[in-house]
Amino acid sequence: TRRTARAVVNVDLPGPQISRHLYGHFAEHLGRCIYGGFYVGPDSDIPNEAGIRLDVVEALRALNIPNLRWPGGCFADEYHWKDGIGPKDERPTMINTNWGDVEENNHFGTHEFMALCELLGAEPYVNGNVGSGTVREMSEWVEYLTRDGDNPMVRLRRANGREAPWRVPFWGIGNEAWGCGGNMRAEHYADLARRYATYCRDQAGNKLYRIAAGAHDRDYAWTEALMKALNPLGCTNRPRGYYQGISLHYYTLAGPWHAKGSATDFTEDDYYRTLAAARAMDEILAGHSRVMDCYDSGAQVGLVVDEWGTWWDVEPGTNPGFLFQQNTLRDALVASVTFDIFHQHARRVVMANIAQTVNVLQAMLLTEGNQLVRTPTYHVFEMNKGHQDAHNLSVHLSTEGTSRAYGEGELRGELETLSVSASVKDGDLLVSLTNLDAGEPVTVNFDLRGGVVADLTGRILTAAAIDGHNRPGEPDAVVPASFDGFTVADREAGAFGVGLTVELPPHSFVTLAGRVG
Ligand code: AHR
CA gap 221, 442 in Å, rounded: 40
- Choose, from 176, 408, 440, 492, the residue flagged as catalytic: 176
Whether the CB-CB separation of 164 and 60 falls below 8 Å is answered with no
Q: Whose CA is nearest to atom 8 of ligand 1?
A: 73
CATH of domain 20-389: 3.20.20.80
To test the pocket of ligand 1, the residue of 28, 33, 125, 257 to mutate (highest count of ligand atoms within 8 Å of its CB) is 28
CATH C-level class of 4-11+392-516: mainly beta
Cα–ligand 1 centroid distance for 375 (angstroms): 21
pLDDT tens, the chain, 517 aa long: 679 999 999 999 999 999 999 999 999 999 999 999 999 999 999 999 999 999 999 999 999 999 999 999 999 999 999 999 999 999 999 999 999 999 999 999 999 999 999 999 999 999 999 999 999 999 999 999 999 999 999 999 999 999 999 999 999 999 999 999 999 999 999 999 999 999 999 987 899 999 999 999 999 999 999 999 998 777 666 788 899 999 999 999 998 999 999 999 999 999 999 999 999 999 999 999 999 999 999 999 999 999 999 999 999 999 999 999 999 999 999 999 999 999 999 999 999 999 999 999 999 999 999 999 999 999 999 999 999 999 999 999 998 789 999 999 988 999 999 999 999 999 999 999 999 999 999 999 999 998 888 899 999 999 999 999 999 999 999 999 999 999 998 665 555 567 899 999 999 999 999 999 8
What value of ipTM does the predicted structure carry? Answer: 0.99
| Closest residue by Cα to residue 175 from 314, 350, 304 | 304
Q: Given this model, what pLDDT does residue 496 score?
A: 59
Work out the number of other CB atoms within 10 angstroms of the CB of residue 439.
9
To test the pocket of ligand 1, the residue of 77, 250, 307, 310 to mutate (highest count of ligand atoms within 8 Å of its CB) is 307
To test the pocket of ligand 1, the residue of 176, 250, 323 to mutate (highest count of ligand atoms within 8 Å of its CB) is 176
Cα–ligand 1 centroid distance for 172 (angstroms): 14
Q: Given this model, what pLDDT does residue 104 score?
A: 98
Q: Whose CA is nearest to atom 5 of ligand 1?
A: 73
Q: Given this model, what pLDDT does residue 489 score?
A: 82
Q: Given this model, what pLDDT does residue 179 score?
A: 98
Ligand 1 atom with the smallest distance to the CA of 99 is 6
72 lines ligand 1 (CB under 6 A): yes
- Choose, from 307, 368, 382, 503, the residue flagged as catalytic: 307
CA gap 409, 390 in Å, rounded: 43
- What does the domain layout of the chain look like in residue ranges? 4-11+392-516, 20-389
In one-letter notation, the amino acid at residue 283 is E
Q: Whose CA is nearest to atom 3 of ligand 1?
A: 73
Establish whether 176 is a catalytic residue. yes
Cα–ligand 1 centroid distance for 75 (angstroms): 8
Q: Given this model, what pLDDT does residue 231 score?
A: 85
Q: Given this model, what pLDDT does residue 247 score?
A: 98
Q: Given this model, what pLDDT does residue 1 score?
A: 63
Establish whether 474 is a catalytic residue. no
| Closest residue by Cα to residue 278 from 344, 357, 341 | 341
Cα–ligand 1 centroid distance for 382 (angstroms): 24
| Closest residue by Cα to residue 315 from 257, 359, 250, 270 | 359
| Closest residue by Cα to residue 122 from 26, 250, 249 | 26
To test the pocket of ligand 1, the residue of 25, 74, 183 to mutate (highest count of ligand atoms within 8 Å of its CB) is 74
CA 182, 109, 73, 386: dihedral to nearest 10 degrees? 150
Contacts of 81 (CB under 8 A, 6+ apart): 109, 110, 129, 137, 141, 144
Cα–ligand 1 centroid distance for 42 (angstroms): 28
Ligand 1 atom with the smallest distance to the CA of 323 is 2
CA gap 239, 299 in Å, rounded: 10
Contacts of 372 (CB under 8 A, 6+ apart): 55, 56, 59, 365, 366, 475
Q: Whose CA is nearest to atom 7 of ligand 1?
A: 73
Cα–ligand 1 centroid distance for 73 (angstroms): 5
Q: Given this model, what pLDDT does residue 422 score?
A: 97
Cα–ligand 1 centroid distance for 74 (angstroms): 6
175 lines ligand 1 (CB under 6 A): yes
CA gap 265, 287 in Å, rounded: 33
> How far is the CA of 392 from the CAs of 65, 338, 427, in angstroms?
19, 15, 13
